[in-house]
């Protein structure tokens, strides 16, 4: 079976390509910059926002992985990220339907309390993309995840850099909210399984086995890094200012960090925890996920705090 992998040069896409090939899938990639794709697969140059290359990339494809996100700072005249995400999804969905793609597999975000209140820009955009893709190809599958623990995960790297660079961890009000972080190995296996599992037309909330507050998660990362970091709770919420401060400390793009922090207004927990059973994946604990990620990190670059 031929599958198309978008986002192949990104964190999740790079994990998926070899796993799909090992299961016998014929993998083709779509990328704006083909030279950035490290996997040994044919690559079509294209861009979902402009529509360039989509029909060619989707020709003969039965399952397409949609791993495109547009939260980083855009160029002049490209508009805010929700508009870019919607346009990319609409272009991709239309091309997939025209080429007869049977299933789109999409990785989005957990909605949490946004089911009962207005979602943040980040989560609302993820939800809209999901609706666009599943309306165009009804047998599609959406996996909704919170933080993915991996050496290249930008959310995890943000937390690690905060632990490295802050001698005292001043944690805003969102420290008490809970989520279920998931190991990169587990989300990759779930995505591979979603290509053929009998879960078409469904949105599945996914998470690891451990429920942790963000404060407990950061404290546990510090412990596993074997560094001592006292924590201080502050009453300030996850404002744009706090996000920009965190981005500056972690040397990250505020265009990514601020929308993520705007989503931390309540628990982000799966509404149903059966995804691992439906997709036949055994889950790693949070500690095992962090230890694996730190080991992968140190294989290529030093951890300043260790």
Query: Does residue 112 have a pLDDT over 80?
Result: no
Query: Does residue 67 have a pLDDT over 60?
Result: yes
pTM score, whole prediction: 0.89
| CB 67, CB 29: distance < 8 Å | no
The predicted pLDDT at position 261 comes to 64
Q: What percent helix, strand, coil does the chain show, rounded to 5?
A: 45, 15, 40
Return left, alpha or beta for 201; rule: phi > 0 is left, psi -120 to 50 is alpha, else beta.
left
Share of the chain above pLDDT 90, in %: 62
The predicted pLDDT at position 76 comes to 39
**How many angstroms separate the CA atoms of 233 and 231, rounded?**
7
Find the angle CA(289)-CA(291)-CA(295) to the nearest 5 degrees: 115
- Tracing tokens 């930008």 back to the chain, one arrives at 154
The predicted pLDDT at position 306 comes to 57
The predicted pLDDT at position 126 comes to 85
Q: Per-residue pLDDT averaged across 184-200, rounded?
A: 97
The predicted pLDDT at position 75 comes to 47
Q: If we measure between CA atoms, which residue out of 108, 100, 127, 120 comes closest to residue 68?
A: 108
CB within 8 Å of 33: residues ≥ 6 apart: 9, 45
- Locate the DSSP E strands across the chain: 2-6, 26-31, 43-45, 63-66, 103-109, 141-145, 148-149, 169-171, 178-179, 182-183, 202-205, 212-213, 231-233
Query: Does residue 2 have a pLDDT over 50?
Result: yes
Token output for 18: 């070899």
- Tracing tokens 């706090």 back to the chain, one arrives at 242
Query: Does residue 238 have a pLDDT over 60?
Result: no
The predicted pLDDT at position 174 comes to 75
Q: Per-residue pLDDT averaged across 175-182, rounded?
A: 91
Q: Per-residue pLDDT averaged across 222-249, rounded?
A: 72
Distances (CA, A) of 46 to 30, 78, 86, 202: 6, 17, 17, 28
Query: What value does the mean pLDDT of the chain take?
Result: 87
Query: Does residue 207 have a pLDDT over 60?
Result: yes
Query: Does residue 21 have a pLDDT over 90?
Result: yes
3-class state of residue 3 by DSSP: strand
| CB 146, CB 207: distance < 8 Å | yes
The predicted pLDDT at position 169 comes to 78
CB within 8 Å of 133: residues ≥ 6 apart: 66, 89, 92, 93, 96, 104, 106, 140, 142
Show the domains of the chain with their CATH numbers: 2-148+181-207+269-281 (3.40.50.720)
C-alpha 306: how far from its chain's center?
A: 27
The predicted pLDDT at position 268 comes to 86
167 or 106: whose pLDDT is higher?
106
CB within 8 Å of 157: residues ≥ 6 apart: 151, 250, 252
Query: Does residue 156 have a pLDDT over 90?
Result: yes
The predicted pLDDT at position 139 comes to 97
Share of the chain above pLDDT 70, in %: 83
The predicted pLDDT at position 254 comes to 65
Q: If we measure between CA atoms, which residue out of 109, 118, 99, 20 comes closest to residue 65?
A: 20
Q: Per-residue pLDDT averaged across 54-68, rounded?
A: 97
The predicted pLDDT at position 246 comes to 67
Lowest mean pLDDT, pick from 4-18, 80-94, 194-208, 257-271? 257-271
Quick one: 80 exposed, middle or buried, by C-beta within 10 A (0-12, 13-18, 19+)? middle
CB within 8 Å of 48: residues ≥ 6 apart: 6, 30, 54, 68, 88, 89, 91, 92
The predicted pLDDT at position 257 comes to 63
- Tracing tokens 């957990």 back to the chain, one arrives at 110
Query: Does residue 304 have a pLDDT over 80?
Result: no
């Amino acid at each position: 079976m031929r599958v198309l992998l978008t986002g192949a040069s990104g964190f999740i896409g790079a994990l998926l390509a070899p796993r799909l090939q090992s299961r016998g899938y014929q993998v083709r990639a779509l990328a704006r910059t083909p030279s950035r794709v490290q996997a040994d697969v044919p690559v079509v140059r294209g861009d979902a926002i402009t529509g360039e290359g989509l029909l060619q990339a989707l020709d003969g494809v039965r399952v397409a992985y949609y791993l495109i996100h547009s939260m980083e700072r855009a160029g002049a005249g490209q508009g805010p990220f929700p508009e870019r995400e919607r346009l990319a999804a609409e272009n991709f969905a239309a091309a997939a339907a025209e080429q007869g793609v049977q299933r789109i597999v999409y990785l989005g975000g957990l909605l949490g309390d946004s089911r009962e209140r207005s979602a943040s820009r980040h989560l609302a955009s993820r939800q809209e993309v999901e609706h666009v893709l599943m309306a165009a190809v009804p047998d599609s599958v959406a996996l909704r995840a919170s933080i993915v623990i991996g050496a290249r995960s930008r959310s995890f790297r943000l937390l690690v850099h905060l632990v490295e660079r802050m001698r005292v961890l001043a944690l805003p009000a969102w420290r008490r909210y809970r989520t279920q972080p998931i190991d990169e190995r587990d989300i990759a296996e779930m995505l591979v399984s979603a290509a053929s599992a009998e879960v078409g037309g469904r949105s599945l909330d996914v998470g690891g086995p451990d429920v942790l507050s963000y404060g407990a998660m950061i404290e546990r990362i510090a412990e596993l890094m074997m560094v001592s970091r006292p924590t201080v709770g502050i009453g300030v919420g996850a404002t744009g200012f706090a996000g920009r401060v965190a981005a500056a400390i972690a040397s990250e793009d505020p265009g990514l960090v601020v929308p993520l922090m705007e989503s931390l207004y309540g628990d982000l927990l799966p509404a149903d925890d059966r995804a691992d059973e439906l997709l036949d994946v055994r889950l790693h604990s949070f500690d095992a996920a962090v230890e694996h990620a730190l080991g992968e990190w140190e294989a290529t670059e030093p951890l300043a705090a260790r």
